[in-house]
Amino acid sequence: MMQTIFKVIGLFLLSVVLILVIIAGKNMKDRNPGYQADIKILSGKTAALKAGFSAVTITPEVPDRWNDSDANSKYEPGKGDTFTDGNGNGIFDQVWIAGFGNSRAANGIHDDLWARTIVIDDGTTRLAIVVLDAIGFMNNNVIDTRSMIPQETGIDYTMIVSTHVHEGPDLLGLWGKSPFKSGTDQDYVEFVKSRIVESVLSAVSNLRPATLEISEDMTGAEHLVTDTRKPDVYDSGLRIIKAVDKVSGKTMGSLVSWADHPETLWGKNLLITSDFPHYVREGIENGIWSGDSLVMQGTGGIVLYINGAIGGLMTTHPSLGVKNPFTGIEYNEPSFEKAEAQGTQIAILALKAMENPVEKIDSAGISLVARTVTLPIQNKLFRLGTMLGVFDRGTSGWMKMRSELTVFRIGPASFATFPGEVYPEIINGGIEAPGGNDFALSPEEVPCVRDMMPGKYKFIFGLANDEIGYIIPKSQWDVKAPFTYGRNDSPYGEENSLGPETAGILHRNLRAMLEEL
Ligand SMILES: [Zn+2]
């Protein structure tokens, strides 16, 4: 009798293990087997440049529970994945908002989310840069989207960058109803892919001869971002490229790069919004308004906001006050007024900088090196998330992740990308090896990226073609006691990183690619 019971229990356990293995095997399957980005375009000549812009919305459908007079229709955390509207009709799927805790369901829409594209062409090479108002867009999705872009567009390389907004739908899977349930709606992912394709097609159709005007404000926006982890290193320079139609003299659009988490609205906001980048884009495009009066003329065109090195951790934390430039009211607590004050200040700085460009180019050659990189998944929770399918991206080998790096040059401007949230000290220098760091190492990721980059104007694009989490200098890695900087616990960051080898692998690859450029 006992033997039979043991046999039954044994068989049961064996089948549970077997089922888990099958599920994990399915989740870990390579989504893009054999895919290897390996592009090297070295332009030896200078030719007339063309540019084209587009802006396509990627706003999810969210029932307007915010403005609904019937309070019963408002989502309350813990009430379930679906709900009926105020009239008892219809059941909607929740849109889980990414970026803070689990189970934050959208209750309405404040402003649209976008896929905005610039296509640049030197007569030989055509490059598309798409920026999404998204927490991140994983490399497998980037690869899928590329395959959907028609050949006739003549695009040699498409880069898909995310702003890392913390007030939009979960595209990584981490912020669902529970930590073990993906918060990503696959229908929405497919929708975003198709909208990216539309955005690229539209930008290509808008290609026109253009002059690129580069402008910078390296210090003006420093007070709008704080660093919540030592060392205090920022990437707070504003770098701008404005494209002007050579024939009409009109502004076609601009690319504005800065570095800060778009999370000024923080973790209690329930309305879909692109956060402060919304106000940056609005201000630059349509001008700066104080009440009903126009204070600064906008440039028109389509503005792309791109984030740089936002790890380590660049944020407009509730402890950082932001002043409305007109009323002088200072906002600390997260609110749309605060995000507007911040975005408007950045827009003013950008508009002022654009009045005096540091360089204008209407001809140049585009050079580009792009490579697939393989990164080990060392983080145990990420391993589990990959096995459970919470991260719905598969693997490219046993506990390995396929990601991507790109470097490119357009005349005097150079660009380096990171597939996640890179710590600014890797970019600008200042990596430390504080006592208590887990590997007792001196700084490894040196020289800093900007010192290795060619050209005069050096742009960093974070969250490019992927979101792998934090990219932390190994000599600052700190999960084990004794802790760094006299702390009595581990700092925030490592739990959202692939592991301590990530930064070194990316830095070494980037260095080699920059040497080729
Ligand atoms: Zn982040």
Ligand 1 mean position to 374 CA, how many Å? 21
**Residue 229 CA, ligand 1 centroid: distance in Å:** 13
The two structure tokens encoding residue 322: 């932001």
pLDDT band at residue 301 using 50, 70 and 90 as cut-offs:
very high
Q: Count CB atoms within 10 A of the CB of residue 298.
A: 18
Crossing angle between the packed helical segments 336-355 and 276-286, to the nearest 10 degrees: 40
Instruction: Answer yes or no: is pLDDT of 73 > 60.
Output: no
Helices (H), 149-269: 186-205
424 CA to centre of ligand 1 in angstroms: 13
pLDDT over 70 at 2, yes or no: no
Residues 176-187 have a mean pLDDT of 89
Average pLDDT, integer, range 18-33: 91
CA 318 to ligand 1 center in whole angstroms: 16
Spacing, Cα 314 to ligand 1 middle (Å): 8
What is the Å distance from ligand 1's center to 135 Cα? 8
Distance of CA 368 to the CA centre of its chain: 21
Is residue 330 predicted with pLDDT exceeding 90? Answer: yes
What is the C-alpha to C-alpha distance for residues 327 and 514, in angstroms, rounded to an integer?
46
Ligand 1 centre to CA of 405 (Å) is 19
Question: Mean pLDDT across the chain, nearest whole number?
Answer: 93
Taking CA atoms, 199 is separated from 129, 140, 195, 362, in Å, by 10, 19, 6, 24
Ligand 1 centroid distance, CA of 313 (Å): 8
Give me ligand 1 centre to Cα 164, in Å.
7
| Residue 254 token pair | 């601009």
Q: Report which of 115, 97, 148 is spatially closest to residue 306, judged by C-alpha positions.
A: 115
**What is the spatial distance between Cα 254 and Cα 252, in angstroms, rounded to a whole number?**
7
CA of 199 to the centre of ligand 1 (A): 25
Region 69-87: mean pLDDT is 46
Question: Is the pLDDT confidence value at 370 over 70?
Answer: yes
- Span 103-127, pLDDT tens digits: 898 988 999 999 999 999 999 999 9
Tell me what the mean pLDDT of segment 295-307 comes to.
98
- CA–centroid distance, 465 to ligand 1, in Å, is 15
Residue 70 has pLDDT above 50, yes or no: no
pLDDT of residue 63: 66
Identify the pLDDT of residue 59: 94
pLDDT at position 36, please? 96
The pair of structure tokens assigned to 98 is 């990414």
Question: Which segments within 285-424 are labelled E, that is strand?
Answer: 288-290, 293-296, 302-307, 314-315, 322-323, 330-331, 359-361, 363-364, 366-376, 400-410, 413-417, 421-422
Element containing residue 6 per DSSP (H, E)? helix 2-28
Beta-bridge mates of residue 368: 41, 408
Q: How many angstroms is it from 20 CA to the middle of ligand 1?
A: 31
311 C-alpha to ligand 1 centroid (Å): 7
pLDDT confidence of residue 9:
80
Pick from 20-34, 68-82, 195-209, 485-499: least confident: 68-82
Residue 457 Cα, ligand 1 centroid: separation in angstroms? 25
Distance 483 CA to ligand 1 centre (A): 22
**The pLDDT of residue 128:** 98
421 CA → ligand 1 middle, Å: 6
Q: pLDDT grade, residue 321 (50/70/90)?
A: very high
Measure the CA–CA gap between 474 and 432, rounded to whole angstroms: 10
Q: Tell me how far apart the alpha carbons of residues 76 and 88 are, in angstroms, rounded to a whole number.
A: 16
In whole angstroms, what is the distance from residue 423 CA to residue 227 CA? Answer: 10
Res 71 pLDDT > 50: no
Output the CA 467–ligand 1 centroid distance in Å. 9
The amino acid occupying position 402 is R
The alpha carbon of 165 and the centre of ligand 1 are apart by a number of angstroms equal to 9
pLDDT digits (tens, 9 = 90+) for 406-465: 999 999 999 999 999 999 999 999 999 999 999 999 999 999 999 999 999 999 999 999
pLDDT of residue 81: 46
- Give the Cα separation of 131 and 110 in Å (integer): 19
CA 261 to ligand 1 center in whole angstroms: 6
Q: Which amino acid is at 249?
A: G
Can you read off the two tokens belonging to residue 149? 């872009």
Using omega within 30 degrees of 0 as the cis cutoff, is the peptide bond preceding 419 cis? no
% of the chain exceeding 90 in pLDDT: 85
Residues in CB range of 157: below 8 A, 6 or more apart: 39, 41, 125, 127, 128, 368, 370, 406
Ligand 1 centroid distance, CA of 123 (Å): 37
Q: In the numeric block, which tokens belong to residue 404?
A: 């991507």
Record the pTM: 0.94
Q: How far is the CA of 315 from the centre of ligand 1 (A)?
A: 9
| Distance (Å) from CA 226 to ligand 1 centroid | 14
Cα–ligand 1 centroid distance for 345 (angstroms): 22
> Is residue 92 very low, low, confident or very high in pLDDT (cuts 50, 70, 90)?
low
- Among candidates 277, 70, 13, which has minimal Cα distance to 165? 277
217-259 pLDDT per residue, tens: 999 999 999 999 999 999 999 999 999 999 999 999 999 999 9
Query: Predicted confidence band at 158 (pLDDT cuts at 50, 70, 90)?
Result: very high
Contacts of residue 112, Cβ cutoff 8 Å, sequence gap at least 6: 57, 59, 274
